A and B are shown apart, each in its own frame.
Chain A
Amino acid sequence: MMIMRRREGEKILIGDDIVIHIAQIGRNRVRIGIEAPRDLVVVAEEVRRVAEVNNAAACTGPEAVKGLVERLQAAGFREPAAEHEGAPASLLI
């Protein structure tokens, strides 16, 4: 990995059409401006990771979590008495 030292307001060029702009340096975070072609996906690393987990969640159906629900209910998570139709919520909270 290449390491460069930059000050606030300075820039880094990657190739011909990507510009990294060090916009602001705070105490424990930096603001970075990125100019890149529109078709290039620029995303924070953890957002990409969340997207992967979201994709896995989208493939998870009721069957896959059935055992989990049974375990939770056995552990004491029971439906609240709210199932009385028409009971005002305020009475039950």
Chain B
Amino acid sequence: MPRAFRFRLLLRYLLASPCISNRFGKLRGIIFGEFCPAVDTCYAGMSIVQTRYFGQMEYTEDAVIRTPLGLPGFESETGFLLIQLPGQYPLVYLQSLQSPDLCFPALPVRVADADYQLEVNDEDSGVLGVSTRPGIGSDVLCLALLAAEETGTATANLKAPLVVRIGTRIGVQCLNSAGDYLCRHPLEEGVPA
């Protein structure tokens, strides 16, 4: 995939940002379909969440990703904020709204694998309200959670990405049935160095 195209896919979700601020200044959160210009012009009705790494943050309801099924191992976590820090692009963080201590680092799947294909099963596609082969970047946002290995390297979970429908912001961690992807995909190979 040509690099320009890959950037377009990323831009689609990285550009539209909701109002999220914290006491250290501005952080950017990500929202789909709507655009909120600046933190200063945010509406009333903001909520506050204690984050694991970024202190207290304010957010509006339209920045929340709802995960009605939770995540495997974290079944009671039904709300996350997607946070992007200045200077850490393309990394994003998924901060739980229920547990301040729970924050996952993640990457858009096509950063780890530019040709990534996604196919979800009937149950997941029903919850998401998309087809079983939703378009990454057009229908859904597809994020791979990152895990640090004992060797000091990071791996990405390409087998079970968090799939978030753009627009409704409903998210499900789906088992991808397309291709032989790994739960612990080594990033050294997938990333052009």
A contact set with B: CB distance below 8 Å: 46-62, 64-65, 67-69, 71-80, 82-83, 85-86, 88-89, 92-93
Contacts and interface: CB of A to CB of B under 8 A. Distances in A.
Contacts of A56: 147-149
B35 A88 contact: yes
B11 A82 contact: yes
Interface string B163-193: 0000000000101000000011001000111
Query: DSSP class of B's interface residues: helix, strand, loop or mixed?
Result: loop
A53 B149 CA distance: 10
Query: DSSP class of A's interface residues: helix, strand, loop or mixed?
Result: helix
Contacts of B175: 46-47, 50
Nearest to A78: B89
Contacts of B193: 71, 74-75
Interface string B67-104: 00001111000000000001111110000000000111
Interface stretch (B42-50, B57-65, B126-134, B152-160): B152-160
A76 B105 contact: no
